[in-house]
Homo-oligomer: A and B are copies of this chain.
Amino acid sequence: MNRRRERVVVVGAGLAGSLAALYLARQGHEVDIFERRPDPRSALAGPEGRSINLGLSARGMRALDGVGLLADVLKHSVPMRDRVVHSPDGGVRAQPYGVREHEILHSVLREELISLVVSAAEAEPGVRFHFDSLLTSLDRETGTVRVAPTAGGEASTVTADLVVGADGVFSTVRQQMQHGLRANYAQDFLPWGYKELTIPVGTDGQPRVRLEALHVWPGHEALMVAHPNRDGSLTCTLFMAHEGPVSFAALDTPAAVRDFFRRRFPDAEELMPDLVREITEHPVGHLVTVRTAPWRYADRVVLIGDAAHAVYPFYGQGMNSAFEDCVVLDECLTAHPDRAAALAAYEAARKPHTDVLADLSTANFEDLRDRVHRLGYSASAAADRLLARLLPQRWVPLYAMVAHTTIPYADALARANRQDRILRRAGAGLTLAVGLAATAAALRVGRRRRAARR
């Protein structure tokens, strides 16, 4: 490699920051990565008994594969071959995720995934992790960051050629980088929140429901999904309004909890022996979309992951798109020796697509809430899958493009819209043909009647 070895600071050692550190070290740079939380591999980091799972799909897999981590991660995951939709009447219907064998998702525990990525990055020459270290300021002109130990003690400064902001949805790097600029910024909180619950492994040691699937309980006022774990348990995420008649706030007694589940998710309630305790003890999470610009400043600062584009979790693309950022940033830094140009190319290549992802994630919330359990929705999804089977090269459902390919999000949406137009025209054509046939038949009948009268 001919490039100068540069000093990079990554702020945030979450999934995006840790993977970016690994990619940047592979480019030959010195990388210091600062994280205000403890080392995720230490006992201290445990999320108080909560386990969060993520659905790894094609974009995330490609990013992990690019640094040789995919095989290891897949060993720690459970395949999800289809979406199993549960109705309030107890009915269960499986919808395959793809039309081909490899078109599946992989459920992985966040803490296991992050441990794998951190360990791989730490093993890379030039990468140094600094946990329990809080960014207190950033000088965007010089690339100087000031970092203080969270336990107290003296702050230190580091000056870098490039600062990567991977510090999440309320990013300090973003705030300091955009300060006083004409920056566009929008945050949208969903009136709904979420809570994590558990379907433990059965008393017989077997999973209580089919394991290799994503389970979905759609609903207009509350909905739930469940991801499988390797130990045979599943982690459920219950989504509903923070406040109001049907809300987390209203689940304020054991009777209210039991009654709520019996009416809305009767089959799930039987699978969740710890339900009342978990509802009482687990915190309610917030759901927020963030769109912003710029993502970069000169040749010094750049944002990735939630710091640049936070989305609702309903398309399962938050982590996958953050990982994809690492790949695109790596490609742009390779393609453009001038770093300001590389960062500009990265933002231009990425932002239109993450904006579309934000829209898709909101639309998928509305689908899960209002449409998944309707007959029309599943007929249309089935038509989509049928066409994909008949024309595998030419017809790819939107969900499949998002989850099973690396076609950029906006391009995927444009192609899906073209496909929709074809279907609509075919529908109109069919209607017209039926109408003409009926008219022709009516005319024939008329002629025959007239002939009969003669």
Instruction: List residues 319-340 of chain A with CB under 8 A from any CB of chain B.
Output: none
Check A182 against B189 for contact (C-beta < 8 Å).
yes
A131 to B15: give the CA distance in the assembly, Å: 49
Q: Is A286 an interface residue (CB 8 A)?
A: yes
Instruction: Please classify how large the interface on chain A is, using the bins under 10, 10 to 19, 20 to 34, 35 or more.
Output: 10 to 19
Scan A172-210; emit 1 where CB is below 8 A from any B CB, else 0: 000000000011111111010000000000000000000
Most interface-central of A183, A184, A288 (chain B CB within 10 A): A184
Distance between A179 CB and nearest chain B CB, rounded to angstroms = 11
CB closest residue in chain B, given A286: B182
Copy number in this complex? 2
Q: Is A242 an interface residue (CB 8 A)?
A: yes
Check B189 against A186 for contact (C-beta < 8 Å).
no
- A185 / chain B contacts, CB cutoff of 8 Å: 185-187
A191 to B182: give the CA distance in the assembly, Å: 8
> Could you say which of B183, B184, B189 contacts A184, with CB atoms under 8 Å apart?
B189
- A182 / chain B contacts, CB cutoff of 8 Å: 189, 191, 242, 286, 288
Distance between A406 CB and nearest chain B CB, rounded to angstroms = 30
Interface residues of A (CB under 8 A from B): 182-189, 191, 242, 286, 288
Can you identify 16 A-B contacts, CB atoms within 8 angstroms? A182-B189, A182-B191, A182-B242, A182-B286, A182-B288, A183-B187, A183-B189, A184-B187, A184-B188, A184-B189, A185-B185, A185-B186, A185-B187, A186-B186, A186-B187, A186-B188
Additional A-B contact list (13), CB under 8 Å, known A182-B189, A182-B242, A185-B185: A182-B191, A182-B286, A182-B288, A183-B187, A183-B189, A184-B187, A184-B188, A184-B189, A185-B186, A185-B187, A186-B186, A186-B187, A186-B188
